[in-house]
Structure 1
Amino acid sequence: MAKSSAKAHRSCLVQMKVMWHFAESTTKKENCGSRIVTLTKRLVRANTTSVMNDERRKQTEQKLIRSGRAEFLEKGYAKANLRDICKAARVTTGAFYFSFENKEALLAAILDPVITDYQRMCSVFAKREEDDPGTADDNERQMMEYLSAHRTEAIILMEKSAGSRYEGFKSQIDMQMQSAFTSYFSKFMGVSPDAELIRILVSMRLQGYMELIKGDYTVEERIRLAREIGIHADAGSMALIKYLNGQKEVYRK
């Protein structure tokens, strides 16, 4: 009887231990599951916060770009005021420096995409016209459409960027056009034209195109006027070359 009682007692203890371990294991699993859920929620919140922060940062950058574009157009880069830019964008100066290193970095965010597109288009169009001169009108249309869509950036780049690293861009365009004009005139004259004459002709052409960009014209009006200016320029160039060919002795001296 005693043995039976002891055996029953041991059996009871074993059952209690099993139940204890089961309960302990279940509790651990529940705690582990709870921790996983908690960590998952934290990760979701962190990712959501990160996405929201990225979105807010992008929105802040876009607001600063819009207000900066207006400020640079009105005052030019040198006189543009960061406080005024931030005020117009309804952004603190601290938020500005979180988005951009300085005023020139903001200008770069405005101009670099346009410069990249412009240079790419010039390269593509030059190759197209070399392969097929008949594409010139379509190339001019596409370029004028692009410049019309980005006329503010074009004006800032060509006329309002003094004091920044972009202030030499207009001079680069000027020199490229002078080189092209010189090659064109030399081809028909057999001698190099007067450098000062070429400089003035290029200045006149550039000024004409800037008038088109700055003027209150529709895209179609800009395209039409650009074509007519081009026709006038081509006819005038040939007339000038004819005249200069009669003056070759002057250029040979």
Structure 2
Amino acid sequence: MATKRNYEMTNELLLESAKQAFLANGFKDTKLRDVCRQANLTTGAFYKHFKSKDDLLEQLVDPLLEDLKNVYLNQINDAIETMNKDNVKDVLLHQILNMDAIIHGVYQNEDIAELLLFKTNGSKYNNLAEIITKFFAENVLKTIIAMQEKGIITDNFVIDKRQIHFFVYSNTATFYDILKHSFAESETVKLYQKLCQFNYYGWINFLGL
């Protein structure tokens, strides 16, 4: 039991040391030896816990990334289940485009969110805006298909994945810009809600609602 506990404590110590180093220097410019030195551990001890610096970063940020994805997936699945011709505009504005819960999740995990969003240059998350855009674009596409199946929009509506990608990317890029300014959570929510309302009319026109 003690050995297991020591292993867990060492793992947590390395994660915390890495988080502080990544936040201070960025992923690319952080050396493993610096992480180990800060944790008072050898590189040999490090490799008993992590395969690489990339593995270390993944274990730091993936739990938050997965949590945020699941929050939105639950939100979008509920929207698809409940939407109909009468409520589709309300569902579009308050569920499909709404990011209040995502913003709250980001602010509840500020250190990891800052690391994920702004400190991962040189890692597989370097192009995070595209990764996020792909995720949201896939869910927008799933929603549009559901709208067609429910007769909310006509079967003649032509799905253009390229257009959808660019529409979603423009929103993602603006959201990034808002987060870069480090506003209070309430201010970020207000700003994003204005962006959401702005985009809402574009989607209404695009979908012919």
The TM-score with structure 1 as length reference comes to 0.59
Q: CA deviation at 1:173?
A: 2.2
Q: Which position in structure 2 is the counterpart of 1:218?
A: 184
Q: Does 1:148 align with 2:107?
A: yes
Q: Which position in structure 2 is the counterpart of 1:37?
A: none
Residues 44-87 of structure 1, C-alpha deviations (whole Å, 9 max, x = no match):
xxxxxx42x43333333222212212333344333321122223
State the AA in 1 paired with 2:58.
A
Shift of the 231–153 alpha-carbon distance from structure 1 to 2, 3 Å rule, reads same
Q: 1:96 aligns with which of 13, 33, 46?
A: 46
Percent of aligned positions with the same letter in both sequences? 21
How far apart in 2 are the matches of 1:76 and 1:202? Answer: 27
1:218-237 map, 5 Å: 218-237=184-203
Q: 1:80 aligns with which of 21, 30, 34?
A: 30
How far apart in 1 are the matches of 2:99 and 2:130? Answer: 22
How far apart in 2 are the matches of 1:214 and 1:56? Answer: 38
Q: Which runs of 5+ in 2 are unaligned?
A: 83-90
Larger Rg: 1
Q: Which position in structure 2 is the counterpart of 1:59?
A: 9
1:1-253 map, 5 Å: 50-51=1-2, 53-132=3-82, 133=91, 136=95, 140-167=99-126, 170-179=129-138, 180=140, 183=144, 190-192=157-159, 195=162, 198-238=164-204, 241=206
SS in structure 2 of the partner of residue 148 of structure 1: helix
Q: Which runs of 5+ in 1 are unaligned?
A: 1-49, 246-253
* Corresponding residue pairs, total: 189
State the AA in 2 paired with 1:230.
C
Structure (1/2) with the larger helix percentage? 1
Shift of the 64–201 alpha-carbon distance from structure 1 to 2, 3 Å rule, reads same
How far apart in 2 are the matches of 1:72 and 1:236? Answer: 39
Q: CA deviation at 1:100?
A: 2.2
Q: CA deviation at 1:159?
A: 4.7
The CA RMSD over aligned residues, in Å, is 3.6
State the AA in 2 paired with 1:154.
A
How far apart in 1 are the matches of 2:37 and 2:181? Answer: 29
